Structure 1
Amino acid sequence: MAEFRKFRLPLGVYLLSFALLAVAQVVMREQPILMAERFWAGAGWIQIAVIAFYGALLAYKMQDPLKAPRWRRLSWTLFTLVFFAQLALGLAGADQFLMSGKLHLPIPMMILGGPVYRLQLSFMSFLFLSTLVLTGPAWCSHLCYFGALDQLASDAAPRDNKATARNNKTGATCDNMTGAASNNKTSAAPAKPAKRTKRTRYFAFKFKRQVRWSIVLLVIVAALALRWLNVPVLYATLGALAFGLTGLAVMLLLSRKYGSMIHCSLYCPIGTLVRLGKKINPFRMTLSPDCTLCMKCSSVCPYDALNPEDIKNKKPGSGCTYCGDCLSVCDAQAIHYRFFGLSPKHARQLYLLLTISLHCLFLALAKI
Structure 2
Amino acid sequence: MAEVKRIVHSGAMENGTLKPYRLIPPVTALLLLGAHGLRLGDFGLAASLALLAGLLCARRAWARPVAVAALLWGGFVWARATVDFIAFRQAFDLPWQRLAWIMGGVILMDGLALMVLLGRGLDRWFDRDREWAVPRAAMFLLTVFGLVMARAKVDFPILLADRYLPGWGWLEIFLLGCYAQWIGSMMRTPKGHRMVRPRIWGLFSAVFFLQLALGLLGMDRMLMTGTLHLPVPALIAAGPVFRGGGYFMLVLFGATLLLVGPAWCSHLCYIGAWDDAMSRLGPRPAPSNVLRSLSLLGRGATLVLAVGVAWGLRVLGVPGASAVLLGAAFGLVGVGVMVFVSRGRGMMVHCTAFCPMGLVGNVLGRISPWRIRIGADCTGCGACFSRCRYNALDEGRVALGRPALSCTLCGDCVSACAHGRIGYVFPGLSRETARAAFIVLAVSLHAVFLGVARI
Q: Give the TM-score, by structure 1 length.
A: 0.86
Label 1:358 to 1:163 Cα distance change in 2 as closer, same or farther (>3 A): closer
* Partner SS, residue 391 of structure 2: coil
1:162 aligns with 2:288: no
Identity of aligned residues (%): 39
Q: Radius of gyration: which is bigger?
A: 2
Distance 2:196 2:409 in 1: 15
Aligned to 2:201: 76
Label 1:205 to 1:95 Cα distance change in 2 as closer, same or farther (>3 A): closer
* Partner SS, residue 191 of structure 2: coil
Number of residue pairs the alignment of both structures matches:
328
Distance 1:350 1:79 in 2: 21
Aligned to 1:25: 151
Aligned to 1:4: 130
Aligned to 2:161: 36
Farther off after superposition, 104-113 or 12-21: 12-21
1:341 aligns with 2:431: no
Cα shift at 1:27: 4.4
Q: Pick the aligned partner of 1:268 from 355, 361, 380.
A: 355
Cα shift at 1:206: 6.2
Farther off after superposition, 35-44 or 147-156: 35-44
Aligned to 1:356: 443
Cα shift at 1:244: 0.2
* Partner SS, residue 105 of structure 1: coil
Aligned to 1:145: 270
Cα shift at 1:163: 4.9
Extract unaligned runs of 5+ from structure 2. Answer: 1-122
1:61 aligns with 2:147: no
Label 1:126 to 1:48 Cα distance change in 2 as closer, same or farther (>3 A): same
The answer to whether the 8 Å contact 2:285/2:388 transfers is: no
Moved beyond 6 Å, runs of 4+: none
Cα shift at 1:205: 4.5
Q: Provide Cα deviations, 1:211-253, integer angstroms capped at 9, x if missing partner.
A: 2211111112211111112222211111110000000000000
Q: Pick the aligned partner of 1:95 from 189, 199, 220.
A: 220
Q: Provide Cα deviations, 1:172-225, integer angstroms capped at 9, x if missing partner.
A: xxxxxxxxxxxxxxxxxxxxxxxxxxxx4x344563122221111111221111
1:328 aligns with 2:415: yes
Farther off after superposition, 336-345 or 113-122: 113-122
Q: Pick the aligned partner of 2:174 from 49, 52, 55.
A: 49
Cα shift at 1:306: 1.0
The answer to whether the 8 Å contact 2:157/2:163 transfers is: yes
Aligned to 1:131: 256
The answer to whether the 8 Å contact 1:203/1:307 transfers is: no
Aligned to 2:293: 207
Q: Provide Cα deviations, 1:15-35, integer angstroms capped at 9, x if missing partner.
A: 11122222333445x621110
The amino acid that maps onto 1:31 is F
The amino acid that maps onto 2:170 is W
Distance 2:385 2:377 in 1: 16
1:234 aligns with 2:321: yes
The amino acid that maps onto 1:207 is S
Distance 1:72 1:220 in 2: 31
Label 1:206 to 1:132 Cα distance change in 2 as closer, same or farther (>3 A): closer
Distance 2:262 2:251 in 1: 15
Aligned to 2:28: none
Label 1:205 to 1:139 Cα distance change in 2 as closer, same or farther (>3 A): closer
Cα shift at 1:121: 4.9
Farther off after superposition, 350-359 or 11-20: 11-20
The answer to whether the 8 Å contact 1:12/1:353 transfers is: yes
Q: Pick the aligned partner of 1:285 from 372, 378, 394.
A: 372
Q: Give the TM-score, by structure 2 length.
A: 0.70
Cα shift at 1:120: 2.9
Distance 1:64 1:100 in 2: 39
Distance 2:285 2:145 in 1: 42
Aligned to 2:341: 254
1:105 aligns with 2:242: no
The answer to whether the 8 Å contact 1:337/1:347 transfers is: yes
Distance 2:167 2:406 in 1: 43
1:114 aligns with 2:247: no
Distance 2:152 2:243 in 1: 31
* Partner SS, residue 423 of structure 2: strand
Cα shift at 1:6: 2.4
Distance 1:42 1:64 in 2: 38
